[in-house]
Structure 1
Amino acid sequence: MGIFGKDSVIKSVLSFTCPRCHGGPLFKKGSLLRPGSLFKMHSHCPHCAQSFEPEPGFYFGAMFISYAINTALFIAAWVGLTILYPDYTLTMLLGLLTAVVILALPLTYRLSRSIWLAIFVRFDPRAAQKSGSEQY
């Protein structure tokens, strides 16, 4: 069991799997060669048929989660730059922050959507048992 056990919400969020059954993937396989494919989600879980977009505009709230993640990244990058290179310029700081945001965009997008969906969809052990017997 534990914090990263089979029924852990944290494990489901970090592995980008369905919050209801913890079996089906939230996102389609993406490729760095086609960056647009990194943002494609399944419409529903292939294991338990949970809808990943319960209503139109559902993920509007994920924008606030993404904002919080990006703020934490900004602060970490700023502290890191201050420790490693105390005589930084404003141009260096803006360049670093821009690079961090662009490089972390696929991760923050997926993570914010995964967190937002996990807030509203609870784990269902029956759905997990059903999905454990199926292959996708």
Structure 2
Amino acid sequence: MESSPSVLTSVLTCKCPKCRKGQMFPKGNLMHPLRFHKMNESCAVCGQSFEPEPGFYFGAMFVSYGLNTVIFIAVWVLLALLVENYSLSTLLILLGLTVVVFLPISFRLSRSIWIALFVRFQKAAA
């Protein structure tokens, strides 16, 4: 019998929360600046809609805020450990670059976490 991926694995790989097999986002768009936010309308495996209602992902912005806060603190601590005397402008530039680099990842991950909170896994759908 085939085992299904864990919740954590399906969230980190942006799989459908209902069947944990279908892709939430089209492949190959992660680092494309104009397409990283494109999302499949529904799961190709089980048919689960990835936008259950209008404005559903509004709450994902709070998840994204939390993820970015963790990333910012990590960058700040690393900078403090690696560079003895750094200026505020150095920190702000580094944080700005971090936002740009991690935007596609935090965007997708926050949406994946948000929908996983509301759509439960169903073995029959897998």
Q: Normalized against structure 2, the TM-score is what? A: 0.94
For residues 25-44 of structure 1, the aligned pairs below 5 Å read: 25-29=23-27, 30=29, 32=31, 34-44=32-42
- Specify the alignment match of 2:109 in structure 1: 111
Q: Is the 8 Å Cα contact of residues 7 and 123 (structure 1) preserved in structure 2?
A: no
Alpha-carbon distance in 2 for matches of 1:114, 1:86: 38
In the alignment, structure 1 residue 124 sits paired with structure 2 residue 122: yes
Amino acid paired to 1:122: R
Q: Is the 8 Å Cα contact of residues 16 and 27 (structure 1) preserved in structure 2?
A: yes
Indicate the structure with greater helix content: 1
How high is the sequence identity, in percent, across the aligned residues? Answer: 53
Q: Is the 8 Å Cα contact of residues 19 and 123 (structure 1) preserved in structure 2?
A: yes
Structure 2: runs of 5+ lacking an equivalent: none
Structure 1: runs of 5+ lacking an equivalent: 129-136
Shift of 1:6: 2.1
Amino acid paired to 1:47: V
Greater CA drift, 52-61 or 22-31: 22-31
Greater CA drift, 22-31 or 89-98: 22-31
For residues 4-43 of structure 1, the aligned pairs below 5 Å read: 6-29=4-27, 30=29, 32=31, 34-43=32-41
Matched residue of 1:108: which SS? helix
Q: Normalized against structure 1, the TM-score is what? A: 0.87
- Specify the alignment match of 1:61 in structure 2: 59
Alpha-carbon distance in 1 for matches of 2:53, 2:5: 25
In the alignment, structure 1 residue 93 sits paired with structure 2 residue 91: yes
Shift of 1:7: 3.9
Alpha-carbon distance in 2 for matches of 1:88, 1:53: 44
Quick one: structure 1 residues 31 and 16, their matched pair in 2 at CA, closer, same or farther if it must change by over 3 Å? closer
Q: Is the 8 Å Cα contact of residues 41 and 50 (structure 2) preserved in structure 1?
A: yes
Shift of 1:35: 1.6
Compute the RMSD of aligned alpha carbons: 1.1
Q: Is the 8 Å Cα contact of residues 39 and 110 (structure 1) preserved in structure 2?
A: yes
Q: Is the 8 Å Cα contact of residues 13 and 115 (structure 1) preserved in structure 2?
A: yes
Amino acid paired to 1:75: I
